[in-house]
A and B are shown apart, each in its own frame.
Chain A
Amino acid sequence: MRHVRLALAFTLAGALIGAACAPAAGPSPTPAPTGPAATGAPTPAATISSEPFVLLSTQFNTVTESEAVRSQILSGFTAAKVDFRGEQAGPWVDRIKAEATAGKGTVGVVGGLHGDFGAVDRALFEDLTPLVNKLKDRGFPKEFLDLGKLGGNTQVYIPWVQATYILGINKQALQYLPSGVNVDNMTYTQLTEWCKNIAEKTGQKRCGFPAGPMSLLHRFIQGYLYPSYTGGLVTTYKSADAVKMWEDFKTLWQYVNPQSLQIDFMQEALLSGQVWVGFDHVARLVNAFKEKPNDFVGAPAPKGPKGLYYMSVLAGLAIPKSSPNKSGAEAFIDYMTTVATQAKTLSAVAFFPVLAAAMPAELAPHLKIEADAVQKQSKSADAKVALLPIGLGAKGGEFNKVQLDTFQQVVIRGQPIADVLNAQAAILQAVMTAANAPCWSPDPPSTGPCQVK
């Protein structure tokens, strides 16, 4: 027995020594990676680094959205470990700048709205023109690719997801719809009549606009209200049409739930029954449709004298120059813009794909409510697209403040419309001049900074 053990010990020792010596014992038969054999066409697997990196995004930064992104979308990307971090727009910009200043970073890919990218110097991002050429058979809409150039010649971001704003309607409200009014083809005046009817019949103001401190009210004013009444935004800011628009909106506001000023996400107000007819971003309505798909319908935004203008929201993915893993980042953007991932993104976070081919034929009930309304909105006879502000750079926040302050002064404080518009138009002009931003749709193109008329 003792001999057996000794023999085993010697064998084990011999094997260990042998293994330790083997690499040094003679030249390895495997060719070195830098040798001639490696210069052939690189296979993707061989060139993607597995260095982990962070996806820093201004979108999907609520807890449930972040979790859905991590478990349903990122889990499918295996080339490198990607850590999703949701962030507010301000710290998002700061972190990109800080990592660029430090010269090295952990953020491999950034995701943000079109407007978020405007707040960062484009020189901090990799030129993605080669990548977009590689992905050109994906079928990105041309206008999205153009937006991703941020007014320059090179691709700063690759289109990722899109969204828009619609009305979420509790079916109980439909019985108060004035006769002859069709929710899918409604004017602001008709919406006012409807809201008035609801308030008078039920004793409660149950129409809602998201006007809380974290709301997207400025987008409603920029992309829906102003263009639908004036056919423009900056150029027509203090026009006679604009005065009429604010008068009408003040009238509508008499029948709007006063707690709208605390509402950031309309879905909560819809679910609690506080609001029956509410306007918001699709991703801020979706939970209402998801939890009670039988109680709600969606409808296009109302139209004004100049037609049904609606805003198309675009988010994109970009690679900062300080990215720790550029090959991994490119492979990741490739993965995020495949038809399969885009379809998965829709079901996970209710943002719509940028690729038409990624719309599944069978949709979950809550997504169908949204998709139907979005489709009715874009297919409406007098539908026109208003773009997110372009070229404002870091001045985007002050631009939004002009509309929010105008709303606050005119609608909430009841100050004289013409005076407010004159004062705010001067601030607006200063912002446009400081940003040196030409007009964008719906305003007619300009040479030099856009001018308020």
Chain B
Amino acid sequence: MAVGGRALSFPARIARSEAALPLGLLAPTIVFLALLILIPAAQAILLSFQAVEGTIGLEAYRRMVSDVAFADSVKNTLLLLVLVVPIQLVLALAMALLIHSRFPGHGAFLYVFALPLAISDLAAGIVWLAIFSDQGYLNTALTAVGLVQQPIAFLSYERLDLLLATVVVAETWRATAIVLVILLAGLQVIPREYFEAADVFGATRLRRTLLVVLPLLRPSIQSALIIRTIFAFQTFAVVLALAGRQLPVLAYEAYDWYYNNRNEAIAAAFAALILALTITVTFFYLRLLRVREAEAQR
């Protein structure tokens, strides 16, 4: 019956019309992505091979790799990724669980935690600059309570470890909220029956979190990690405000080569490198945290 030629035509038409709707709904996004992401990305990659006018070659990549700041910018970008993303994930998870426990006044916490979302990168960087500078709030407070005699130079090139730490703190503050929002949304769609079942079997809060919540939250964790990692490769304004040129990162180098040094090809080469790294890490996450079909459909 099911394989009969004519018998299928009616359901097939429905299937076609059912496919037409999602495709139609996706179309604006596809057009948007093509016009504003795919085509410019292709143009940028092409540009990175055109360092010498009228020729196609690897000159831009050769100069990128031999640049004095190249090795440091790769190192710092990866270092920030490795330091910031896990801290953010743990913090955001704790914050999401706290809000999800629905204690009295949890709504106010959500607003406070989500506040950095509304602040632009550069503004956040400048706020933290006002905190960490020699005459900043932190040093003023430390001096006032007598903990230090002289201001601590947090933002000195002589102490790159402290400088890196300030950037980690500022980045964590600024971008944990986005992870929190994704994880909280994930938590809220977990059916309460699972928690009730865990309670019936006498699971402690810790066991419930580890054995019930975390596995069910895996799709959200995956999305949050991918989004955060993509953003981490683009980290720019906070580093710029706090560390200037002392902590070169890839996105700053791309900006610097485009705006200050006026060499589009080398800027495009840096952008292509960021793209390649992002794709590699995203692929890695997708493999590592593979979401089973059933989980994805939950």
Contact = CB atoms under 8 A, between A and B. Distances in A.
Given A259-B134, A405-B68, A412-B157, A203 B262 contact: no
A213 B244 contact: yes
Nearest to B135: A272
Contacts of B9: none
Given A89-B259, A212-B244, A262 B150 contact: no
B154 to A, nearest CB: 9
Interface string B249-260: 000100010111
A49 B133 CA distance: 52
Contact of B242 (A262, A394, A398): A262
B260 A400 contact: yes
A404 B246 CA distance: 12
Contacts of A235: none
Contacts of A401: 260-261
Interface string B214-242: 00000000000000000000000000111
B162 to A, nearest CB: 11
A13 to B, nearest CB: 54
A408 B157 CA distance: 11
A207 to B, nearest CB: 14
Contacts of B92: none
Contacts of B184: none
Nearest to A406: B68
Interface string B132-162: 0111000000000000001101011110000
A145 interface: no
Contact of B153 (A119, A203, A213, A258): A258
A258 B157 contact: yes
Interface in A272-317: 272-274
B164 interface: no
A262 B261 contact: no
A: interface residue count bin: 20 to 34
B19 to A, nearest CB: 41
A402 to B, nearest CB: 10
Contacts of A397: 260-263
Q: Say what secondary structure dominates the interface of chain A.
A: helix
A88 B243 contact: no
A72 interface: no
Interface string B117-133: 00000000000010001
A408 B245 contact: yes
Contacts of A412: 157, 246
B156 to A, nearest CB: 4
Contacts of B243: 262
A409 interface: yes
A273 to B, nearest CB: 6
Contacts of A405: 68-69
Nearest to A203: B150
A90 to B, nearest CB: 4
Contacts of B157: 258, 261, 412
A288 to B, nearest CB: 14
A204 interface: yes
Contacts of B244: 211-213, 261-262
Nearest to A423: B68
Nearest to B246: A261
Nearest to B260: A397
A150 interface: no
A165 B151 CA distance: 30
Interface in A3-35: none
Contacts of B241: 262
Contacts of A257: 134
Q: Which 3 A-B pairs have the closest CB atoms?
A: A258-B156, A397-B261, A90-B259
Interface of A: 88-91, 93, 119, 203-204, 211-213, 257-259, 261-262, 272-274, 394-398, 400-401, 404-405, 408-409, 412
20 contacts: A89-B259, A89-B260, A90-B258, A90-B260, A90-B262, A91-B259, A119-B262, A204-B134, A213-B240, A213-B256, A258-B157, A259-B155, A274-B135, A395-B262, A397-B263, A398-B263, A401-B261, A405-B69, A408-B69, A412-B246
Interface of B: 68-69, 129, 133-135, 150-151, 153, 155-158, 240-246, 252, 256, 258-263
Given A90-B259, A259-B153, A404-B245, 13 more contacts: A90-B258, A90-B260, A213-B240, A213-B245, A261-B245, A261-B246, A262-B155, A262-B242, A262-B243, A262-B244, A397-B261, A398-B262, A405-B69
